[in-house]
Structure formats: C-alpha cells, structure tokens
Amino acid sequence: MKILVVDDYPTMRRIVRNLLDQIGYKDVEEAGNGVEALEKIKGHRYDLVISDWNMEPMTGLELLKNVRGDAALAKTPFIMVTAESKAENVVAAKQAGASQYIVKPFTAETLKAKIASVIN
C-alpha cells in the first residue's frame, strides 16, 4: 500500500512515517505542503493520503477538496490530521469528504484503526 504523508513540519512527517512503519506500512512518501502534495497525487497513485489540516499556502482542507473534485482521484482514502478537536473542524472535514479524522497527538494503534476503517 502506497501512502502519502502531508505536513509542513518535517518532524511531524517523520513521526507519522515512524508510526506507519511500526504498524507495517513501508511504502510511504512525503509532501511538505498541499501544493506539493497535489502535484504528487496527480502524478502517482496513492492508496491513502494522510494530511495535516493547518498548512500554507494550501491547507489540508483545500487539498482534500481538490482531491475530491478530481474524478480520477475522488475515491482516494483521505485521513485528516489536526491538533484541533473543534466540532466544526470535524464537520467541515467530513463535509469535504474526509474518510477519517485524527486529533494530535495519536498512537500507532489509533492510526492503525483509522487506516483499517478507510481501506477495508
């Protein structure tokens, strides 16, 4: 399974990559922002996108809307990650088509459960 991790903080990308590695996912690529991620997504097929919400110049929500708006990409499982647990953010992510939503910090077990819920 090929996974794209999108976050503007290299440390957070490394943490998510390490968690993915712990639960058995080795084919992981990274993008530092939504614009870079969208270019990668359009150029390659990913089985899952895990994206941070708060990024510049394109937020994770804007990235999600772009992915869902492209017929070729629309069915790609997409997990939104954020430090904010506000109900309106969860609602906005779901309305935009997020497959799942994870609030930081999270464990490998939480990540594993969220991935299982979107790929099965």
pLDDT per residue as tens digits for the range 16-25: 999 999 999 9
Task: Report which secondary-structure segment, H or E, holds 22.
Answer: helix 10-22
Question: What is the tally of structural domains in the chain?
Answer: 1
**Enclosing domain of residue 79:** 3-113
Q: What is the structure's pLDDT at 120?
A: 67
In a domain, 120, yes or no: no
CB burial of 26-58 (b: ≥16 within 10 Å; e: otherwise) equals eebebbebbbbbbebbeeeebebbbbbbebeeb
The closest alpha carbon to 28, from 17, 39, 19, 18, belongs to 17
Kindly report the average pLDDT of the chain as a whole number. 95
In a domain, 119, yes or no: no
Q: What confidence tier does 9 reach under pLDDT thresholds 50, 70, 90?
A: very high
In sequence order, what are the residues at sequence separation of 6 or more whose Cβ sits closer than 8 angstroms to the Cβ of residue 109?
none
Q: Is the pLDDT of residue 119 over 70?
A: yes
- What's the rounded Cα separation, in Å, for the pair 116 and 96? 20
Instruction: Let me know if residue 93 belongs to a domain.
Output: yes
Q: Are 81 and 59 in contact (CB under 8 A)?
A: no
Kindly report the CATH number assigned to the domain that includes residue 77. 3.40.50.2300
Model pLDDT, residue 90? 87
Percent of the chain clearing pLDDT 90 (strictly above)? 89
Instruction: Express each pLDDT in 82-101 by its tens digit.
Output: 888 788 888 999 999 999 99
Residue 81: inside a domain, yes or no? yes
Contact indicator for 64, 101 with CB cutoff of 8 Å: no
Rounded CA gap, 34 and 52, in Å?
9
85: in domain: yes
